[in-house]
């Protein structure tokens, strides 16, 4: 018999799903620009990726199914209206910014130091927002206390 305390249980994992308009282009971005590893290629248009200790699924849009009869998966329509983001905590936001820019990432702005944290935002090819964030208590590679 199960009780209300039986969730979450051992083995429960949280994953995020990203919907892409062009699977190959988005897979190349996450793998080659951000450095994600393909954990499992599930189908021609669905894979499990690992980055920084977290995992997320990448797939393409699709219509309702028996288990989600009113839901359609679709990539973002307006990249400037965001309801969620991927947040990547890094030890040095300035260094990560430079490395990812050298791999082709396009940032909204250079990193901004807010005192309590340093942040920089970029988008994937479909407009999903990605935030690089560094705690303000860490030091950059240049030795500056940020």
Give dist(CA 124, CA 36) in Å, integer: 13
Using a pLDDT cut of 70, give the percent of the chain over it. 92
Question: Do residues 47 and 27 lie in contact, with contact meaning Cβ atoms separated by under 8 Å?
Answer: yes
Pairing state of beta strands 16-20 and 54-60?
parallel
Say which residue the tokens 């206390």 belong to: 145
DSSP designation for 3: -
pLDDT for 83-135, tens place per residue?
999 999 999 999 999 999 999 999 999 999 999 999 999 999 999 999 999 99
For residue 142, what are the contacts with CB-CB under 8 A and spacing of at least 6?
A: 94
Give dist(CA 119, CA 27) in Å, integer: 24
Pairing state of beta strands 117-123 and 129-135?
antiparallel
Domains of the chain listed by start with CATH number: 16-62+75-135 (3.10.180.10)
pLDDT for 64-83, tens place per residue?
999 999 999 999 999 999 99
Give dist(CA 34, CA 124) in Å, integer: 10
- Distance, C-alpha 138 to centroid of its chain: 22
Task: Tally Cβ neighbours within 10 Å of residue 88.
Answer: 19
Question: Do residues 99 and 88 lie in contact, with contact meaning Cβ atoms separated by under 8 Å?
Answer: no
- Residue 23 tokens, joined: 């699977």
- Dihedrals φ, ψ of 34, to 5°? -85, -15
């Amino acid at each position: 018999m199960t009780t209300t305390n039986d969730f979450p249980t051992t083995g429960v994992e949280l994953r995020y799903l990203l919907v892409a308009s062009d699977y190959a282009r988005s897979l190349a971005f996450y793998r080659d620009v951000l450095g994600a590893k393909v954990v499992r290629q599930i189908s021609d248009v669905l894979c499990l990726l690992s980055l920084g200790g977290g995992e997320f699924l990448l797939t393409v849009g699709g219509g309702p199914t028996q288990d989600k009869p009113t839901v359609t998966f679709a990539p973002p329509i307006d990249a400037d209206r965001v309801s969620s983001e991927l947040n990547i905590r890094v030890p040095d936001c300035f260094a990560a910014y430079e490395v990812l820019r050298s791999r082709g990432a396009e940032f909204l702005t250079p990193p901004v130091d807010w005192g309590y944290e340093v942040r920089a935002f970029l988008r994937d090819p479909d407009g999903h927002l990605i935030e690089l964030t560094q705690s303000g208590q860490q030091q950059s590679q240049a030795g500056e206390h940020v």
